[in-house]
Amino acid sequence: MPKPVESLALAPDAASEALLPAGLALPDAARRSTSDFVAETLREAIVSGQLASGALLKQDELAERFRVSKIPVREALKRLEAEGLVSFIRNKGALVASMSPSEIWEYVEIRAMLEARAAELSAPHISDANLQAAREAVQAFGSERNPARWAELNWRLHSALYIDAQRPVLMAEIRSLYDKVERYVRALLAVTPELPKTQREHHAIIEAFAARDAEKAATLTRAHVLDGGASLVKYLSEHRADGRNPSH
């Protein structure tokens, strides 16, 4: 893994100094950028399934691997804990978080509400360029055989559809929910015949957006998320019941 590039904290100029109260504690830019790099790398490894649920994340080993001190590693892990991707367990340390089927279903229900709202707001205003981007993403998603890329292509599709809602906070919340459950969704698609059904739903949603039909786009989007979530919860419940743990 390449060593992160340390950014340099530049001294503020006289004009900016005049706008800041004396004694205000400014963040350490170098430490912040390193913490961001560690968090982003670990987040991707968790979401993609490279780090399985329950994997121990030892701060000393991570600091050595990233060639940084333990401080940015600790900050990165605390951030991932806030995102629901990491758990701190007494006498063990940081672990990749594992979610129960009931927890996943709750996230799915929230996603369904938020994505339906994003679809409702975006569909009447979707640009031809974003509609084309969605069509290209769904085509790429259907032909991709590498499960590691499904999360990226699925997000590219849905974000292209929702972006014209012009609700950046809503988009950020939806993306956060994607990251929490995407490793489980990928496990489901890799071993079940859900992909053709998912693609049919994707195409129907895109056509509703193409018609600028807000109500239909919202209804289909909500049903798509809930239906996929129900299949996921069923799959996880069955596999955990017979002793298997599909963690990625």
Identify the structural domains of the chain with CATH numbers, from first to last. 14-96 (1.10.10.10), 101-241 (1.20.120.530)
pLDDT at 26: 44
Identify which of 33, 46, 37, 42 has the alpha carbon closest to the alpha carbon of residue 178: 46
Cβ density class 42-74: b for 16+ within 10 Å, e for less: bbebbbbbebebebebebeebbeebebeeebbb
Amino acid sitting at position 118: A
Amino acid sitting at position 84: G
CB 181 within 8 A of CB 232: yes
CB 232 within 8 A of CB 247: no
pLDDT average per 10 residues of sequence, the chain (248 residues):
39 40 49 81 82 88 91 92 87 87 93 98 98 96 81 91 98 91 76 79 97 98 94 82 45
pLDDT at 8: 30
pLDDT at 142: 86
Measured CA to CA, the distance from residue 132 to residue 188 in angstroms comes to: 28
Helices 70-82 and 59-66, axial angle in degrees (round to 10): 110
pLDDT at 21: 53
pLDDT at 152: 83
> Read out DSSP for 80-93?
HHHTTSEEEETTTE
